[in-house]
Structure 1
């Protein structure tokens, strides 16, 4: 079993914030899950206890309360979808792929007469209709496209879990950019403040790098927080992929050394995010500056939620203003090394 591990003080340069009606949003999301019968009663109780409303209230602390509620319901729905590959009675990855493929069609065309008796499909229809109400046609399309990427990563991870294997660090990093659910959440950051980021800004490489680096930090945080619980767990929880386990395998590290390395990696990427965001904000539109603020709220909100919503997580006694690694050299991960090349030159996203 091994000794309990503690996370070093976490570098947290972003101020915390939360929507004033966070508790009401939590209540609403629990009621939404009951209305659509998302998962089993046991799963609904477990998911309600995660306080997704509190998370989303931190991501959009000044956003539209209606959009915060949509995001909260959607986060709970995604957590239920994570259980699809492990559903009792389902026949492995092929069956899960078929179900997720049909759900993509529901997200694209909620009026399609299919899966009428499936609670996940019913909840997804409701989410799509509300996204259409608060967003643009382009935002709805980007949301459903990102959902496809998310589903692909869920199946990819499930295959490793069934086989009892760990990916390389490079493959794990790439997968985490999608199954961390950042890309599928991004359109709602815009909806929450009633704007649409124009393609020449949103698709600029430096803006993409800022969004992906935010995803990296939040997913590494999630892995660092949950590692000890997963390490001591049994069954499905013990089979979860985690960057600390990946680093142990790839570099032959002891758990405490792998944990420290993961923290250094997230701190170096956090510093990169701050440099990219600062450069982009100097030249970008008001909408881009709001988008970058949204990414920062996402990082800090996920951190605060992760520490506060699950008491069995690793203990973190303090925050710190000093990163464990403030280097400017890229991490040795080919899929993301290009981020640092962008940070080394001026960013023109306007």
Structure 2
């Protein structure tokens, strides 16, 4: 399976963390230590997610000891998503997911709460993360962790509804939900804890910062659709649980606009480029008056955009779909310094990102 992507506009740097490989290994050992008992090829598949590389590119200068918290979360939650949200029979059982998600949220809220059967590996790992995270975080930071996970699980349940109806969503619906279904806010909430600096709520609640966060999370999620497109088609061709529902930007563009796949791929890249350009311009307008913590947060959003793109083009998560077929999917892409045309992309749910008073 080969996927060729048009050049991606992303004018940000995202160097790799020097301890990325070791953090990935430690994350795998940490999760296996709860009794997961992974053997090959499942262990290789987990390490192929390369969570140290992913989060290390978001925070390339963070102390490895503190950053390990975010890498461990990523290791657990990617495995959780694969097992309970996205693939196979689990992807059409919303009741099972809702029950499990409610337990995860309760353990995040109250780590000592007894939820689920004794020895539940997932909840034991979540409890460990919650206890470590609460030790390092402020009350406001931890409240954000819980709420961002609630938003993620809400997004996943929306995906379950699409599958249950065997319905590919409209582009306008998908565009505003994708930041949540991809766990964008739930991913980056750990960065604030790793930094050890609380971002004032007045900053986080401002329309311009809300727009920057939505732009970054939506763009990164659309990029994920590009990197995972080949993997999804490869798995669908071998699955007994495939449906007519498509939850990928490329498929949605192809269906809604009557495009062949190669044209839909081009339009998807063009959309991510336009979103990135808007993010870059709005960021430059916000930075001069940003507080120190907010400036740091905007830096992380910038490295997320480039780092996620760099990671996605290399991650074994996408090139080895099931842990048994290295190189089964080859996705090639590149970067360009040429900015796309300015202006909103004509998606109603996203138009507000270009309509902020005082920010042209």
- TM-score normalised over the length of structure 1: 0.90
Provide the C-alpha distance between the structure 2 equivalents of 1:45 and 1:108, rounded to a whole number of angstroms: 32
Name the residue aligned to 2:221. 219
Deviations 1:92-140 (A, max 9, x none): 2122211211221111111112224211111100111111122211111
Name the residue aligned to 1:259. 265
Provide the C-alpha distance between the structure 2 equivalents of 1:266 and 1:37, rounded to a whole number of angstroms: 40
Any conservation in 2 of the 1:10–1:316 contact (CA below 8 Å)? no
Question: Is residue 135 of structure 2 the alignment partner of residue 143 of structure 1?
Answer: no
Question: Is residue 105 of structure 2 the alignment partner of residue 104 of structure 1?
Answer: yes
Provide the C-alpha distance between the structure 1 equivalents of 2:218 and 2:358, rounded to a whole number of angstroms: 21
Question: Is residue 332 of structure 2 the alignment partner of residue 316 of structure 1?
Answer: yes
Counterpart secondary structure, 1:336: helix
Any unmatched runs of 5+ in structure 2?
320-326
Deviations 1:255-293 (A, max 9, x none): 111111111111110001001111110111121111111
Displacement, 1:26?
0.9
Deviations 1:240-268 (A, max 9, x none): 62100001111111111111111111111
RMSD: 2.4
Displacement, 1:30?
0.8
Question: Is residue 303 of structure 2 the alignment partner of residue 277 of structure 1?
Answer: no
Displacement, 1:346?
4.0
Provide the C-alpha distance between the structure 2 equivalents of 1:51 and 1:240, rounded to a whole number of angstroms: 26
Name the residue aligned to 2:341. 326
Any conservation in 2 of the 1:60–1:192 contact (CA below 8 Å)? no
Match 2:349 to one of 323, 335, 339: 335
- TM-score normalised over the length of structure 2: 0.88
Displacement, 1:230?
2.2
Displacement, 1:91?
8.5
Provide the C-alpha distance between the structure 2 equivalents of 1:301 and 1:91, rounded to a whole number of angstroms: 32
Aligned residues: 342
Name the residue aligned to 1:68. 67
Provide the C-alpha distance between the structure 1 equivalents of 2:345 and 2:47, rounded to a whole number of angstroms: 37
Q: 1:240 to 1:134 in 2, by over 3 A?
A: farther
Displacement, 1:331?
2.3
Displacement, 1:215?
0.8
Alignment of 1:162-173 (within 5 A): 162-173=164-175
Any conservation in 2 of the 1:9–1:316 contact (CA below 8 Å)? no
Any conservation in 2 of the 1:70–1:127 contact (CA below 8 Å)? yes
Any conservation in 2 of the 1:7–1:314 contact (CA below 8 Å)? no
Name the residue aligned to 1:37. 35
Provide the C-alpha distance between the structure 1 equivalents of 2:273 and 2:28, rounded to a whole number of angstroms: 34
Any conservation in 2 of the 1:4–1:228 contact (CA below 8 Å)? yes
Counterpart secondary structure, 1:37: helix
Question: Is residue 296 of structure 2 the alignment partner of residue 298 of structure 1?
Answer: no
Any unmatched runs of 5+ in structure 1?
none
Name the residue aligned to 2:50. 51
Displacement, 1:36?
1.8
Q: 1:73 to 1:40 in 2, by over 3 A?
A: same
Q: 1:260 to 1:154 in 2, by over 3 A?
A: same
Counterpart secondary structure, 2:62: coil
Name the residue aligned to 1:84. 84
